[in-house]
A and B are shown apart, each in its own frame.
Chain A
Amino acid sequence: MTRPDTAIFRSLREAGRALSAPLAAMGCGLLVCSIIVFLSGTHPWDFLAVTWKGSWGSGQAVAATLGKTTPLLLTGLAVSIAYQAGFLNIGCEGQLTLGALCAATLAALDLPLPRFVLVPCLALAGACTGALWAYPACLLKQRRGVHEVITTLLLNYVAIHLAQFLVLGPLGDGSAMGRTPEIPSKAALDPLWESGALGVTAAPPAALLLALGVQFWKSRTVWGYEATMTGSNPAAALCAGISTDRLQRRLFLLSGAFAGLAGSLEILAVHHRFYNAFSPGYGFDGITVAFLVNAAPGWLWLSSLLLAGLRSADKWLQILLGVSPNIIVVIQAVLLLAAASQGRLRERAAALFERTRRKPGGPSFPAEGRAP
């Protein structure tokens, strides 16, 4: 039988080949996760049903999930865009916190600006703060050769403590709660669609558009091509006349800006004021979001929806099944670990598949061109 070799089949086969590694990783991850769930005394099927109910089962659940998708998608985008240039930005949590604080403080000033100017300006201010907070890490990497992972991590702690200090001290509303004054209603994003107490604002579609825009930039523009080249082989990129340092600096700042934007949108759309510890680790989740789909900006929506669903289901897991919400973090870690080792997992799976397929009376000669 000849294989059909039309363009459609070829592209389908290529898509299958590209997807097989993440799918194998997902399969292994889910297997381990269900074993963990089983060991913790819950039937995996109940777990799945409750997770589905808590994330997509009702209008309110959908609104909660979509609301959590925005910061996850944007922090995932932040990690992914830095990774295009060969940098790992682990500092999203700090950049997000300070971006949110900056947006909340500026919004509370009640500037006499029309709404359609004010909201983008506030979002941009948050983004700029995030970029500024990413800058020292970039500087240390390029001047002193200190790995950016360690500096961004340390700057996270500095940012979180700094924000706590500022809302308890000079920027707070005077209460001992550790929060800023509520922002005026003209600075807040209105819900487009409401279900119960929760609404979906324009923030999730805006984040999705940004992610798709980054995918377009990466695959269709010269600058994006240069960035990909710098990430995969800096020496070759330098020889080809690309100023890699400047490119990496810009992308790193852009990455910080996306994380800061995630924080400011979270304030404008959801919380309407800055609370102490308002982020349940969105910045760290961004790493999982990005690496679950191999840092491809065009697929981030998928992984961020998955994680947002898990996050909005965690209290239901605790109420209905009595499972510690920490299991969400464990599942996330297992999926990330599986995704990180996907190349090798696929090889192993393929080898296993070959062996089982050829066992019952298969051809005894070695397969074409494959080393034993």
Chain B
Amino acid sequence: MNEALRQLPPLIASHLLLAAAAMALALAIGLPLGFASARRPRLAAISVGFAGLVQTIPGLALLALFYPLLLALSALIGGGIPALGFLPALLALTLYALLPILRNVVAGLRGIDPAVLQAAEAVGMTSGQRLRLVEAPLAAPVAMAGIRTAAVWTIGAATLATTVGYPSLGNPIFAGLQIERWDLVLAGCIAAALLALVSDFLLGLIERGIARRDRWRTLVGSALLMLGLGLACLPLLRGPERTVTIGAKNFSEQYILARLIGLRLERAGYRVAYREGLGSAVAFRALASGDIDVYVEYSGTLWTGTMGRTDNPPRQAMLGGIAHWMDAGPKTGLVGPLGFENAYALAVRPDSGLASIAELAAKAPDLTLGTDLEFGNRPEWRAIRDAYALRFKATRAYSPTFMYRALQSGQVDVISAFSSDGRIAADRLTVLDDPKGAMPHYDAILLASPAHAKDKPFLAALRPLVNRISVADMRTANFSVDRDSDKQTAEAAARWLDLRTRR
């Protein structure tokens, strides 16, 4: 729990900064739009209708939508707009906060007694005086209630900013969910809930101050709110000297390797930040655009996915092809392969007496294949099926955990595994050789952003990792994080790998 708590202060700071920026922007849009809408029914129908429509989009989807939108916009004006990180999170949260603000400002203004407005006109108020002296103070209590709602929503939804690579209290929540570390999940949830409660309390103080015309209460509430925001943001003041951002996709191996890279870079004097939980398709784009500086990719993913290739060259040719393609196109740098693969592989029980897929092919008609839920539809399966003319007695699909259990209990005889999965070592499974080289290669490769592709000190800090991580070590590290009991943190696993690779 202590380790979980130590991560929190900078995350609270960036979380609050995002929420506050989104609220400020939503107020800057919502207040004038609300005032304009209150007396124009058609504008009100459009603006409140639009804000309501936005509200029906799930928060995660709204954030995800901004990614392609900003990419397209950036391409349109010739680049320069970051599609990940602060900007998409800010825009999505602002839109989210708009509805309660807009609706309550309109409701507050429409609720003002018409006689009071007539009197304001009759005593000779200019429209500015009417706004300042009558409409704003009378609509304020209702508007404040909307602002409170918006603030609580925004602080809660800001946890989702993690998914577009902006550090927030969602970091421990998403990471904890992935590696089943409930203390991390709890720390993130409780911190976000406390922030929301405190903000709501202070805004409530201001709201009551306004409603009861108690200036003192309003001032104290505002001052405490500003003070809290300032204090929370103190960790950000330490400044980003030579900060590098390490990306990680959303599974244990990636979290461990990101921390390992972080250890090496910190030792070389860099300040390190992490963007974890990136979607698989998003990660490379984040690297190419410089939103992250370094991360671990798998060669086959780039080859078939990003590069759109359909052939299956041998290992070295694929790596050479990737290096060449990156040099010509996105200008990212291939630091080198780490030394292990995380590929689809076929695994059997140690007592099976099988060593390769070629041997398996002969016995396959008597055996049952267990797969994860997607293997049967993937090109990897078609590739080995056709290369070795595999035909099983039966095929059953499981969720990964149950797939390993099914192999152990003998319900199936062969499974589709990931070659670096820790359970292979734990269950002492045999990974079958692929003599025909039919399976595409998924070498773990270390990639650097365009800014660091030729950065010598940076590369010098990372090169010692190249070809130093064996698949056995990676399995052990993964298992120490994934197993059900005596779980290690990704950081602990990374420290262990660090020792192993320095020998």
Real complex partners, A and B?
no
Q: Which residues of A contact B (CB under 8 A)?
A: none
